[in-house]
A and B are shown apart, each in its own frame.
Chain A
């Protein structure tokens, strides 16, 4: 029988939750890296025991951690004794060095981006929000950074190189959202190996069809009436999350700051599918593992009231690819609930029926083993949850 491993990043460490395929009994392991912010952990699709983690701190900066045994042990890549080379014993890896590439050959001049007040500020690395391992190579992994940039490692996270041409996509007009100017979503496409989608707050979505050599904004159809002076500007939109089903790579779903949207042409154009949602503000969006037209969101009341409408924690599911949504409430608190669910904090497994997982800023991780029909908390009292990823282990 398959097992499930759920990787949870929190404000004060990482937790690994494991269960068999029934998903009824769970083992909680952690905290790993206690006291640090774990923005994201994710396993390699090509080697599920290869895990990457972004460990960060306002005090001590960014550290990348890697596990090669499914989370039992961790090391910053490139700092094990066997990684040491040279007479001075210096490591060949600099796993936490994220330097923007301003070189003439491959880089882009490191200029400025827009600040909250419309003035220009210089780019400055702060942290890694998201790690996206390659679909085929365990040693290749992408990192989405704040200030917004995309980095790539081809040596298991030992060293990183920026795919700097992304900043050429009108980077001077990008601006921070409330959480900072972060590249938070990276979507890879098994059908088009050179295609990469990224999403940035607050810049929008961008697509490369040549493995990151060139990029273009893909925001046609997005309207940000209250956030931008030009509501349908080419860039500047606060996209919170995008997702896709691997069987239908031209169909993307988006949770924007306000509005839930869909693209049927790989991001070339978008149309709204908010339909009957009680609020179309929210952070995560997910697609069912086996039904590419079944989509999940968690409505949040507003951009300043980051909690569910009416104090009721409800996941909304559309089986029609949008517009027609049903509330999923069984097992979720339906009164006095004022938590938030952050953009990277919802995931699906690959079992049948499909399992769903989400974590809250109140420290709960909820699981559904029946595609969202009913929910149970795996844990209730973790630190605020930043990210949730699910691995299905054969």
Chain B
């Protein structure tokens, strides 16, 4: 079970309060978490990563365990504490003057 904290606007769009929890099949990676997020909340497709390229949108960041995972491969394993649900994966709107 992985815990995910979505940015406020995506929580509104997905109609959820607080963090969401997701069961991941296979290795826990950012890519696997995003797959699970988009399956559970289809309205979030295209809002975190581009529909066509599947690349992270430029103003989206991935943080966990006080580390920036934004530039890691989507297939890289998540920290063990995130994979086990002790720490959440934070999906964050970048600080960009908005």
Contacts and interface: CB of A to CB of B under 8 A. Distances in A.
A60 B51 contact: no
Interface string B77-98: 0000000000000000110101
B63 to A, nearest CB: 15
23 contacts: A35-B8, A57-B9, A58-B98, A59-B96, A59-B98, A60-B7, A60-B9, A60-B13, A60-B60, A61-B57, A63-B43, A76-B13, A76-B43, A79-B42, A88-B39, A90-B39, A91-B42, A93-B42, A94-B51, A96-B46, A96-B47, A96-B51, A99-B51
Interface of B: 7-10, 13, 39, 42-43, 45-48, 50-52, 57, 59-60, 93-94, 96, 98
A35 B9 CA distance: 8
Contacts of A35: 8-9
Nearest to B44: A60
B11 to A, nearest CB: 11
A58 B47 CA distance: 10
Contact of A60 (B10, B39, B42, B52): B10
Given A35-B9, A59-B96, A61-B57, A97 B47 contact: no
A42 to B, nearest CB: 21
Query: For A57, A59, A76, A78, which residue has the most chain B Cβ atoms within 10 angstroms?
Result: A59
A94 B52 CA distance: 12
A120 B43 CA distance: 34
A59 B39 contact: no
Given A36-B9, A94-B51, A99-B51, A61 B46 contact: yes
B59 A58 contact: yes
B94 to A, nearest CB: 7
Nearest to B94: A59
A44 interface: no
A93 B46 CA distance: 13
Contacts of A90: 39, 42
A61 B51 CA distance: 10
A89 to B, nearest CB: 7
Query: For B8, B42, B96, which residue has the most chain A Cβ atoms within 10 angstroms?
Result: B42
B47 A60 contact: yes
Nearest to B42: A91
Contacts of A89: 39
A96 B9 contact: no
Nearest to B10: A60
Nearest to B47: A60
A125 to B, nearest CB: 8
Shortest Cβ-Cβ A-B pairs, 4 listed? A60-B47, A59-B59, A79-B43, A91-B42
Given A35-B9, A36-B9, A99-B52, A61 B47 contact: yes
A58 B93 CA distance: 10
B74 to A, nearest CB: 17
B8 to A, nearest CB: 8
A60 B93 CA distance: 8
Given A35-B9, A97-B51, A99-B52, A59 B42 contact: no
B52 to A, nearest CB: 6
Contacts of A88: 39
B46 A59 contact: no
A75 B9 CA distance: 14
Contacts of B39: 88-90
A185 interface: no
Given A60-B13, A96-B45, 7 more contacts: A58-B59, A60-B47, A61-B47, A61-B50, A63-B43, A78-B42, A91-B42
